[in-house]
């Protein structure tokens, strides 16, 4: 389109890092958007804690962009906007992971768009790919590095050998981590994103509480040192996959072999791999955080809402969420350097039907460490063995376990 049909009025809720970046980006792109859509977007009101009135902004807007974060009052504002017939764009993954079904139902009922590309993986267009490009594919599994903060921390620990706490401080100094980084490092941010991806990929309701979640706070430099010896790299991985007629959705640290498509994703970058029999495997990557990058994804959603496709459909199946799945594991043990300790540990593993793939032993006396990678086993069986091993008198500290993803792609 080249002729203008008038302004397209946007109400902006939130003026933090992303909101401010969007307010700066929109005027720069307005002429090009008008050329494409026939409408010229403009911000007609901004709501913050200290300025703006929601009702006035709502009345003056064709579309509302929610960048407040958190659950309330964001949920209330989004619902009120949609019930008033306004399109909504949000980057709020916690809101969607906890209340998505309610919000999508209201969007369908009111005939408005609820767009949320920026809620998952920054500028990586995985939402649009799942909803549009792969809408007819039977997705089997999604693997993702969907938190740039944790990926930066693990990448720097591997590169420098520094401790977790020191790298976290550096991430905060560079702006990759918030002053309170809890949700990034404990896995909850990634868990919310994987709940959203699982819902879209498998067409079934998935709530944040159904995602098994483990963070990176206990990872030590020695884990990464041993990983190098074993030819592995460490990432915080989100996985959503079909298992025994149900689905498993989880977030946890995992070791990857070098040929896995996510193994080379370093620093504050995100990547998502989608697997399906129809497409084999595709991987999308890009910046996972930052005001301008997220604002760009938000603006893409605004443009999509200006030329609206169908809204997010209601789910058509209800799959059981499976918590106990099969995985390989890395097992790190600080042991007393006494005769027979290795055989006692492998004996416990053998009693639980667990076989050892590789072993590394370093240090002597009080500094002895024993590291193993075991072949894939049901997680409940492995953790039962770890509980038994922890009771052995030769163990100086509780054993540490990290999952290993064995797939490699050519």
Which range of 111-120, 224-233, 354-363 scores highest in mean pLDDT? It is 111-120
18 labelled binding-site residue: yes
| pLDDT tens readout for residues 22-38 | 999 999 999 999 988 88
Kindly report which listed range (223-232, 253-262, 308-317) carries the lowest average pLDDT score.
308-317
What is the predicted pLDDT for the residue at 229? Answer: 85
19 vs 6, residue with greater confidence: 19
Residues 172-181 have a mean pLDDT of 85
What CATH number is given to the structural domain containing 90? 3.40.50.720
Residue 17 marked ligand-binding: yes
Report the CATH number that the domain containing residue 279 is assigned in CATH.
3.30.360.10
Of 118, 83, 78, 85, the C-alpha closest to 100 is 78
Rounded to whole angstroms, the Cα distance separating 406 from 75 reads: 40
274: confidence class by pLDDT, cuts 50, 70, 90: very high
78 pLDDT above the threshold of 70: yes
Asked if pLDDT for residue 3 goes beyond 50, the answer is no
Could you tell me the CATH number of the domain that includes residue 372?
3.30.70.260
Q: Are residues 280 and 162 in the same domain?
A: yes
Q: Are residues 220 and 134 in the same domain?
A: yes
Count of domains for the chain: 3
What are the tens digits of pLDDT across the range 355-403?
A: 999 888 887 666 788 999 999 999 999 999 999 999 999 998 999 999 9
The answer to whether 201 and 130 have CB atoms below 8 angstroms apart is yes
Strand-pair partners of 85: none
Q: What is the DSSP letter of 118?
A: G
% pLDDT > 90, the chain: 66
The number of residues in the chain equals: 410
User: What pLDDT score was predicted for residue 307?
Assistant: 80
Residues 6+ apart with CB under 8 A from 389: 333, 345, 348, 349, 395, 399
Q: Which residues fall within 8 angstroms of residue 272, CB to CB, at 6 or more apart?
A: 121, 124, 126, 142, 143, 144, 145, 146, 197, 283, 284, 285
Which residue of the set 86, 169, 188, 193 is catalytic? 193
Torsion of CA 374, 154, 190, 81, to 10 degrees: -170
Is residue 14 annotated as involved in ligand binding? yes
pLDDT at 345 over 70: yes
Residues 158 and 228 in one domain: yes
pLDDT of residue 2: 37
The verdict on 78 and 24 lying in the same domain is: yes
Which residue segment(s) compose the domain that 210 sits in? 126-287
Structural domain ending residue among the three candidates 119, 154, 184: 119
In order of 70, 113, 223, the CA distances from 90 in angstroms are 11, 11, 38
CA 180/CA 393 separation, integer angstroms: 38
Beta strands in 14-82 (DSSP E): 40-47, 63-66
Q: Are residues 340 and 196 in the same domain?
A: no
Distance CA 187, CA 404 (A): 17
Its pTM surpasses 0.85: no
Question: Would you say 300 is a known binding-site residue?
Answer: no
Are 227 and 272 found together in one domain? yes
Q: Are residues 219 and 191 in the same domain?
A: yes
Do the annotations mark residue 20 as ligand-binding?
Answer: yes
* Final residue belonging to a domain, choices 71, 87, 119: 119
Asked if 154 and 264 sit in the same domain, the reply is yes
The pLDDT value recorded for residue 205 is 94
Q: What is the pLDDT of residue 10?
A: 97
What pLDDT shows up at residue 316?
Answer: 79
pLDDT digits (tens, 9 = 90+) for 131-170: 888 888 899 999 999 999 999 999 999 999 999 999 999 9
Per-residue model confidence as pLDDT tens digits over 275-322: 998 888 899 988 876 678 888 889 999 998 888 665 677 887 888 989
38 and 70 housed in the same domain: yes
pLDDT at 163: 93
Please say if 193 is a catalytic residue: yes
Is 315 a member of any domain? no
Tell whether 251 is in a known binding site. Answer: no
Of 287, 315, 335, the position where a domain reaches its end is 287
> What is the structure's pLDDT at 1?
33
Distance in angstroms (rounded) separating the CA atoms of residues 288 and 270? 5
Of 134, 158, 348, 343, nearest to 235 by C-alpha is 158
Report how far residue 228's alpha carbon sits from residue 24's, in angstroms, rounded to the nearest whole number.
44
| Lowest mean pLDDT segment, chosen from 10-19, 65-74, 345-354, 401-410 | 401-410
What is the pLDDT at residue 210? 96
Q: Determine the pLDDT at residue 409.
A: 54
Residue 172 pLDDT more than 50?
yes
In a domain, 185, yes or no: yes
Q: Is 260 annotated as a binding residue?
A: no
90 is in an annotated binding site: no
Residues 262 and 160 in one domain: yes
Give the closest residue to 249 by CA, choosing from 289, 291, 201, 215.
Answer: 201
Q: Are residues 245 and 106 in the same domain?
A: no
Whether the Cβ atoms of residue 237 and residue 108 lie closer than 8 Å to each other: no
């Amino acid at each position: 389109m080249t002729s203008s049909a008038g302004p397209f009025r946007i109400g902006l809720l939130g003026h933090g890092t992303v909101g401010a970046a969007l307010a700066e980006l929109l005027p720069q792109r307005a002429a090009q958007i008008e050329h494409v859509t026939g409408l010229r977007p403009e911000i007609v009101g901004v709501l913050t804690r200290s300025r703006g009135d929601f009702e006035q902004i709502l009345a003056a807007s064709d579309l509302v962009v929610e960048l407040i974060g958190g659950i309330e009052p964001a949920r209330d504002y989004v619902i009120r906007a949609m019930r008033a017939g306004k399109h909504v764009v949000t980057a709020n993954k916690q809101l969607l992971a906890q209340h998505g079904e309610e919000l999508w139902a209201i969007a369908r009922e009111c005939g408005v768009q609820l767009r949320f590309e920026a809620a998952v993986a920054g500028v990586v267009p995985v939402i649009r790919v799942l909803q549009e490009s792969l809408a007819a594919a039977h997705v089997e599994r999604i693997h993702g590095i969907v938190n740039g903060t944790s990926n930066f921390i693990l990448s720097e620990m591997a590169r420098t050998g520094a401790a977790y706490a020191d790298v976290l401080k550096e991430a905060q100094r560079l702006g990759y981590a918030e002053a309170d980084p809890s949700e990034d490092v404990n896995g909850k941010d990634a868990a919310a994103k994987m709940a959203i991806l699982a819902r879209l990929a498998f067409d079934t309701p998935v709530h944040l509480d159904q995602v098994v979640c483990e963070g990176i706070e206990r990872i030590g430099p020695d884990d990464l040192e041993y990983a190098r010896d074993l030819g592995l790299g460490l990432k915080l991985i989100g996985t959503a996959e079909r298992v025994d007629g149900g689905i498993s959705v989880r977030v946890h640290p995992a070791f990857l072999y070098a040929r896995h498509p996510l193994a080379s994703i370093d620093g504050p970058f995100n990547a998502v791999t989608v697997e399906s029999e129809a497409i084999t495997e595709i991987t999308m990557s890009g910046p996972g955080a930052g005001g301008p990058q997220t604002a760009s994804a938000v603006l893409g959603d605004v443009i999509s809402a200006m030329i609206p496709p169908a809204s997010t459909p209601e789910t058509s199946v209800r799959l059981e969420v499976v918590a106990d799945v099969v995985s390989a594991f890395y097992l790190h043990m600080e042991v007393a350097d006494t005769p027979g300790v290795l055989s006692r540990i492998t004996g416990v593993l053998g009693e639980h039907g667990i076989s050892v793939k590789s072993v590394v032993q370093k240090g002597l006396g009080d500094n002895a460490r024993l590291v193993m990678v075991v072949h894939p086993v049901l997680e409940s069986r492995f953790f039962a063995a770890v509980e038994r091993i922890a009771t052995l008198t030769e163990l100086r500290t509780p054993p540490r376990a990290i999952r290993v993803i064995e797939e490699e792609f050519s």
